[in-house]
Amino acid sequence: ARRNVLITGCSSGIGLALAIKMAKDEQERFKVYATMRNLAKKDALEEAAGHNLGKTLEIKQLDVCDEQSIKTCVNSIPDRRIDVLVSNAGMGLIGPIECQTIDEMKTVMDTNFFGLVRLLKEILPDMKKRKSGHIVIISSVMGIQGILFNDVYAASKFAVEGFCESLAIQALKFKLQLSLIEPGPVVTEFERKVFEDGMKMDLSAADEETADMFTNIYLKNYKQIFQSLGQSAEEVAEHTVKIILAENPPFRHQTNTLYTPMTTLKYADPNGDLPIDIFYKMVFHHDKIFSASLNFIKLLRWRSRKSFDLGKSSSQ
Ligand code: NAD
């Protein structure tokens, strides 16, 4: 039988790519409910869906910050049956915390963390009753490791990961599956918007050294990091589909093998100093080493494009 899949945040990026990939599945294994906050932004999705629109893909309104919109959307699905929930909607925030308002930070938490909580409050009870369902969350490598000037965003993804680690134990009892997808940098609207907001940021509340660090180190290297390490939304969607189709899906899956050496540092030192020390050196002391390693990564990336073995990486 076809599995009903509900995906949030489908007007762009990973959500859009995933919705299209699943709707176009050759074996027609999925019925996709591609949702978005603002239906006025549905053109790109509609166009990409083509003849699948109204067949294997339906577009619905859903704002993860609005409980009523979640309820209305779920009620409109036959028998409220959602076999696979993909919690993808999210937003970023960069910059020194002294230049961000608490309200801006709350919006990030409300979208990235409480957005997931709201979805599950509505959908989890049905899944428990049926004793079946797969909850897939687009988290981030920043859900396990913080990065300079991403303090609140990383906190929101850590919140997601802690919440899911707790819930996974209960889910097991109900035979439900839970998977965190952890992409590294992905070239999407997200990256463009976060960068633009960073460039426009009023840095007057920060001291000179911090403002300089943000502008001349962080923002200066931002594009280069995405260019050398960044995956496409389609690549992340491909990984996600593999996880959804896996017989025993893993709890965590990192999509970017070029990034795993960084996240591995976390587990290599129980004191937690090692990754912080390495990031510090990369950012502040070894600008040259930093650009050299980015060039090396570019080379690796060029080579791995030729021999990208998804089967291998998704069974890790
Ligand atoms: P994106 O900006 O293209 O997609 C995010 C989508 O979420 C957008 O369509 C946006 O409209 C939607 N959204 C925001 N607030 C919403 C709300 N309240 N209700 C419903 N939808 C809402 O960026 P993306 O890169 O495709 O991001 C998708 C997910 O991937 C996010 O959770 C993000 O944190 C995560 N992620 C992104 C990257 C990256 O580098 N781009 C890296 C790791 C993880």
Place of tokens 């687009």: 138
Query: Could you tell me the distance, in angstroms and rounded to a whole number, from the CA of residue 197 to the centre of ligand 1?
Result: 15
In a domain, 230, yes or no: yes
Q: Which domain holds residue 123?
A: 3-257
What is the whole-number distance in angstroms between the Cα of residue 274 and the centre of ligand 1?
A: 30
User: What confidence score (pLDDT) does residue 148 get?
Assistant: 95
For residue 67, is pLDDT > 70? yes
pLDDT greater than 50 at residue 312:
no
Does pLDDT of 304 surpass 60? no
Q: Which of 14, 60, 228 to mutate to test the pocket of ligand 1 (most atoms within 8 A of CB)?
A: 14
Mean pLDDT of 41-68: 97
Quote the pLDDT of residue 26: 96
d(CA 83, CA 133): 5
* pLDDT above 90 for 237: yes
Q: pLDDT at position 313, please? A: 43
Instruction: Report if residue 172 sits inside a domain.
Output: yes
Q: Which of 23-27, 213-217, 264-268 has the highest mean pLDDT?
A: 23-27
User: SS in 3 state form for 143-173?
Assistant: HCCCCCCCHHHHHHHHHHHHHHHHHHHHHHH
Q: Say what the pLDDT of residue 144 is.
A: 96
pLDDT of the residue at 295: 62
Is pLDDT at 298 greater than 90 in this prediction?
Answer: no
CA distance 30 to 33: 9
Q: Which tens digits make up the pLDDT trace of 251-292?
A: 999 999 988 888 888 888 889 998 898 888 888 876 566 666
pLDDT at 309: 46
Classify residue 51: in a domain, yes or no. Answer: yes
CA distances from 303 to 71, 217, 296, 299 (A): 47, 28, 11, 6
- Average per-residue pLDDT in the chain? 91
Residue 99: inside a domain: yes
How many domains does the chain fold into? 1
Q: What is the pLDDT of residue 308?
A: 41
* Amino acid 311: pLDDT: 47
pLDDT in tens, 6-24: 999 999 999 999 999 999 9
Q: Is 153 a catalytic residue?
A: yes
**Spatial distance between the Cα atoms of 224 and 62, rounded to a whole number of angstroms:** 34
- Report percent pLDDT > 90 for the chain: 76
In this prediction, residue 260 carries a pLDDT of 87
Residue 14 lies in a domain: yes
The C-alpha atoms of residue 148 and residue 201 are separated, in whole angstroms, by: 16
pLDDT at 97 over 70: yes
The pLDDT of residue 173 is above 90: yes
Report the atom number in ligand 1 closest to the C-alpha of 11. 9
Pair of tokens at residue 275: 């990754």
- Distant-in-sequence, close-in-space partners of 153: CB < 8 Å, separation ≥ 6: 92, 93, 94, 108, 112, 140, 142
Give the sign of the dihedral formed by CA 244, CA 245, CA 248, CA 250. negative
CATH code, domain with 20: 3.40.50.720
Q: Is the pLDDT of residue 225 over 50?
A: yes
ipTM of the complex: 0.99
Residues 234, 239, 240: CA angle, nearest 5 degrees? 95
In a domain, 263, yes or no: no
Report the 10 Å Cβ neighbour count for 260. Answer: 16
Name the least confident of 38-52, 82-96, 169-183, 289-303.
289-303
Indicate whether 152 belongs to any domain. Answer: yes
Substitution candidate for ligand 1 out of 63, 91, 112, 235 with most atoms within 8 A of CB: 91
Residue 86 domain-assigned (yes or no): yes
